[in-house]
Amino acid sequence: MAASEKRERSGGRGWSRRGVLAGVVGVPVLLIAACGGHPGATSAAPGGQGAAAEAAVSAPASPKASVAKIAVSPADGATAVPFSDPVKVTVADGTLSSVRLTDTAGREIPGQPTADGTGWASTGKLASGTKYKLAVSATDANGLTADSNTSFATATPANTFVGYFSPEDGSTVGVGMPVSINFNKPVTDRKAVEQAITVTSSSGVEVVGHWYSGTRLDFRPAEYWPSGSQVTLKLRLKDVQGAKGVYGTQSKDVTFNVGRSQTSVADLAKNTLTVTTDGRVTATYPIIGGAPDHRTWGGKLVISEQYQETRMNSNTVGLGSEYDIPDVPHAQRLTNSGTFIHGNYWSPASQFGSANTSHGCISLQDVKGGADGNTNAAAFFKSSMVGDVVEVVNSGDRPVDPANGLSDWNLGWADWKAGSAL
């Protein structure tokens, strides 16, 4: 007997390559079973079936792959994707069974499938500078599933705009304080921007926006805010296109409170300032108004700034070098063009209540430095707040331009609403 034949029959350590191949072809499961014991050992199943029973067991078949083919846009790993474009999914040789688009915070972006189930497009807005994940499943005619998991990142706009608003968050203001928003770049799509801004009051009054220009949008109700109410401004300007290629960046809520109701009437024929607080006259002061060649604007003016002391220079309002007073006390701004109601220590006491000699401002008697808290100017300053209304009557001049300062109340309600883009 040849040496090789002896090794094959002995079942020892020296299995030939020929013997192994014959085992794989002839009895595939027998080789697998032998791996659990010793080479050449005989394995018997219970009941004496032996290797013949094991040969009847077949190996599992490989799973079939789905023929459904999923395509997504944007592509996996894409960056600087336009955030104004929808995300799209299509499938060939199958139908979509699940589409889920989420941002890094896990917020799901809604979408709409096509009627035949072979397409899907996002309907919710994407945010700029954000990474997204897209998970898709589709099923073919045999019920087999195909999956796709991709991610992409949206671009950050190179050209942006912001809105600077007043009043400040958490502030308490007078009943005449409008919400005023000034944009740092001109807005051409006023409708889109106004739709992205809402102003509501706890009192339930209707609040409407009015565009003075492409850079200024104010909001107010038909009448002054109800005292004690709370007003909320919601800016949802992020990724809103205000002009071609120019996008907003803000998503912010601002809340302010309306204080007691205080309005004052400056009658420049009587030279008096009558103050009404919560429906009751609380003070009457003698005043000086604008001289005939520098009359005070008429109409409803709103206090926008308060200064314990400030410098007033005629050069800043186009009046040359007529005056330069470095320490005007108790000054409260009424217009952007330079109208104030303020303390006056330089005019004779006899002029208060009897003459109009100013360059357009309204003044109350005061002392230099404003340290005396008992003067008329100090008392009025102490009782006032930003947002209080000072209505000027009998000045001899036309009503103030509504866009000059916070003089919004000089427009009737119909004219105000006509300035809305909505």
Cβ atoms within 10 Å, residue 159: 11
- DSSP annotation of 372 reads -
Question: Residues 391, 397, 403, CA angle at the centre, nearest 5°?
Answer: 60
| Residues in the chain, overall count | 422
| Beta carbons of 192 and 247 less than 8 angstroms apart | no
Exposed (0-12), middle (13-18) or buried (19+): which is 416, by Cβ within 10 Å?
A: buried
Q: What is the DSSP string of 278-324?
A: TTEEEEEEE-B-B-TTSPPPBEEEE--EEEEEEEEEGGGGT-TTS-E
- Distance in angstroms (rounded) separating the CA atoms of residues 386 and 341: 12
Please identify which of the residues 210, 330, 342, 359 carries the catalytic annotation: 342
Please confirm, yes or no, whether 361 is among the known catalytic residues.
Answer: yes
- Distance in angstroms (rounded) separating the CA atoms of residues 295 and 313: 18
Exposed e or buried b per residue across 68-90, where buried means at least 16 C-beta atoms within 10 angstroms of its C-beta: bebebbbeeeeeebebeebbebb
Give the gyration radius of the chain's Cα atoms: 41
| Beta carbons of 30 and 57 less than 8 angstroms apart | no
How far CA 310 is from CA of 307, 320, 332, 380, 408, in Å, comes to: 6, 19, 10, 17, 26
Cβ atoms within 10 Å, residue 135: 14
| Beta carbons of 225 and 203 less than 8 angstroms apart | yes
- DSSP annotation of 129 reads T
How far CA 322 is from CA of 132, 312, 363, 398, in Å, comes to: 64, 11, 17, 24
Please identify which of the residues 210, 330, 359, 361 carries the catalytic annotation: 361
Active site residues: 342, 361
